[in-house]
Structure 1
């Protein structure tokens, strides 16, 4: 249902001969008023702002092909919202990936976490949690972010790296099923300054229900540029870990975990190897998928979520990109860790 496109990035040796360009941009998408919060329990309204939410984008160009990856600090996005953002960008739809960090401390962008009837009947909302005025604001910000990254394109070099992180995640349901690979893409301009650091790792953002600000802050302090997190195979159910256990849910624990995560990103990025003028190849398939989840079907029937379906199927997509030696694969929703092994 969610086009919170999870991304798997694999790296193998190789090179090509096209000139390479990269550009990044970030835009604040923090709600301007109190909204229902997405993730975990229903009927939670925001009470203030501890850290801002943002859309962060990396644009890359090789030859005549320009692509953009944009990551938003929200729970997820519907296919309708993703297509609306793409429509505001002068690129083919398949050249733009829109993903979400799956933040559980941000607005309900899906519609499933609105007002409940009572604490006793708290499994299903009686009204949608989506604030459509905020969603319009979010889409506008995302469009500006993607276009800004394209406008900032400049000659660049690409560095790729990956590592195994044994104590950043845990699977609370299937302990032996875990993808602990961290992949990092760093774009650097001709003066040696970092344009962006994009890092991919699979885990629910659930220390304090999910924030990435300590990670962004530390990575940008080390390298400069724009830090961009893209979630991976986090389903069934993968969350943060400290000594094999779930971290405590408080601000101190969030800062501590965020700094450990950032250190892993920094160390991985430092080992990056340069890809000489990578070429870009892309493929996108739009799918009609039977909707089997009863809660989602009920939410659709009552108009709580933006999707509509006359035949019980929803529209989604999968994407395959090749960026030089790197493969980027996206799937909707929360793929199981076993997916990353395929």
Structure 2
């Protein structure tokens, strides 16, 4: 059934009611919103991300996009661009921000670049490193890096140029059909292990919760037609696999919303805090597929669209703060050991998975912590290479960004792969009714950011974290302080 006419009728009624009660919504120099998307699909043959060995793409399942939403309110402007990438390198952020700010006038600190975390997206960090260092590389790879920088910047420019008055509606849907599961488990011996089945008699319980809420911000034009749906849900993107480009389950959210709301609507999906959440049901041997997950989430969104509340006040506040997160160590002996492990893996010798993960991390940390690293990182890794973070020392500068609209909506953007408990803590403490908490923003080099208790339990996410215990709580404290400041400014 096509629900487009129904949703358009509801939208028109809401526009009439809100404009009658609050004529300032569309009047004067109030808030203007722009939405745009640009294709950033890499060529066939470019390296694919997600794992610890090189994979070259063999084709395309569905396109990768950079989708931007820009808010303009008088002298204040802010932009969020969501990219179908596994993560956003600090080097990439600087290049996109510089270009987008020059073209639009949006302050650099008010531009957020975030990734969905698709594992069928490009492994671009080594090629970006070579390009920015003006070193030799294959022309095809160099051309894609230019596209990767230009695409998100162009999406921001287009959204900024086409910003116009809009009716905003906000709220949250609940995902009732189970598609997300905490992937960490408490074992009978007291340890914590990732990726277990309830068939395992040593499993006691899940080590943490899930967040079933889908936070929503709908953007409609003056006629009530939906222009964009910004949604936010905590679920890892690694449901496709294979050797072809794919945006994973957010693609199916986009397609389902286009079917019900019209082809012009843009679905912008911001990945929630899901460092310990994935799609594998521990009670089943069958895994949910990308189309099932995306369509199910879209159905939850569609059920809630008619119940979203219009924002009577839409004053824009944008705040950010750099938090210095403490980095883990990388001693000379650890780096030597890491090189041996990576060389074994390169020779296709058997290497313990956790040793492989740790070795990669130690080479990356060596590059960050030491002005004169013990290893030449580019000889050993492709992921984690950075000009911006070379020799930064004992802490990594991680940005927390907050964009608020009136007194009801907040968008919080955090670096790294953040545990669900931390995202839920921000929502619980937020003074805004609808708070979208989006991970993997502006800096992926922190890798996982567990909550403090998880470090005691260990397992994969802790092994693959670059920061010390307490880093996640530092992000929560900063986000809540910025939210309180924004709430005070909007009153």
TM-score (norm 1): 0.82
Tell me the distance in 2 between the aligned counterparts of 1:326 and 1:69: 15
**1:16 and 1:278 in contact (8 A); partners too:** no
Corresponding residue for residue 298 of structure 1: 363
Corresponding residue for residue 50 of structure 1: 61
Answering whether residue 254 of structure 2 is matched by residue 219 of structure 1, we say no
Where 1:87 maps in the other structure, the secondary structure is helix
Where 1:88 maps in the other structure, the secondary structure is helix
What do you get for the CA RMSD once the two structures are aligned? 2.6
Give the C-alpha shift of residue 246 in structure 1.
7.5
Where 2:124 maps in the other structure, the secondary structure is coil
Tell me the distance in 1 between the aligned counterparts of 2:281 and 2:72: 39
Structure of higher CA gyration radius = 2
Where 1:206 maps in the other structure, the secondary structure is coil
Tell me the distance in 1 between the aligned counterparts of 2:23 and 2:237: 36
Answering whether residue 295 of structure 2 is matched by residue 239 of structure 1, we say no
Tell me the distance in 2 between the aligned counterparts of 1:318 and 1:16: 34
TM-score (norm 2): 0.58
**2:31 and 2:165 in contact (8 A); partners too:** yes
Residue from 133, 144, 156 that aligns with 2:154: 144
Give the C-alpha shift of residue 321 in structure 1.
2.2
Q: Which structure shows the higher strand fraction?
A: 1
Residues 244 and 197 (structure 1 numbering): CA distance in 2 closer, same or farther, change over 3 Å?
farther
Residue from 79, 84, 94 that aligns with 1:68: 79
Q: Is 184-193 or 281-290 further displaced after alignment? A: 281-290
Residues 179 and 133 (structure 1 numbering): CA distance in 2 closer, same or farther, change over 3 Å?
same
What stretches of structure 2 of length at least 5 have no aligned partner? 1-21, 128-140, 186-205, 242-246, 330-357, 368-374, 426-491
What stretches of structure 1 of length at least 5 have no aligned partner? 1-14, 113-130
Give the C-alpha shift of residue 194 in structure 1.
1.4
Tell me the distance in 1 between the aligned counterparts of 2:74 and 2:125: 37
Residues 326 and 133 (structure 1 numbering): CA distance in 2 closer, same or farther, change over 3 Å?
same
**1:288 and 1:315 in contact (8 A); partners too:** yes
Residue from 404, 414, 424 that aligns with 1:331: 414
Tell me the distance in 2 between the aligned counterparts of 1:282 and 1:16: 24
5 Å-filtered alignment, 1:2-13, equals none
**2:88 and 2:115 in contact (8 A); partners too:** yes
Number of residue pairs matched? 308
Q: Which structure shows the higher helix fraction?
A: 2
Corresponding residue for residue 435 of structure 2: none
Where 1:260 maps in the other structure, the secondary structure is helix
Structure with bigger RCO (C-alpha 8 Å, 6+ apart): 1
Give the C-alpha shift of residue 312 in structure 1.
4.1
**1:75 and 1:109 in contact (8 A); partners too:** no
Residues 29 and 246 (structure 1 numbering): CA distance in 2 closer, same or farther, change over 3 Å?
farther
Tell me the distance in 2 between the aligned counterparts of 1:178 and 1:246: 20
Residue from 383, 391, 394 that aligns with 1:309: 391
Tell me the distance in 2 between the aligned counterparts of 1:132 and 1:173: 39
Where 2:418 maps in the other structure, the secondary structure is coil
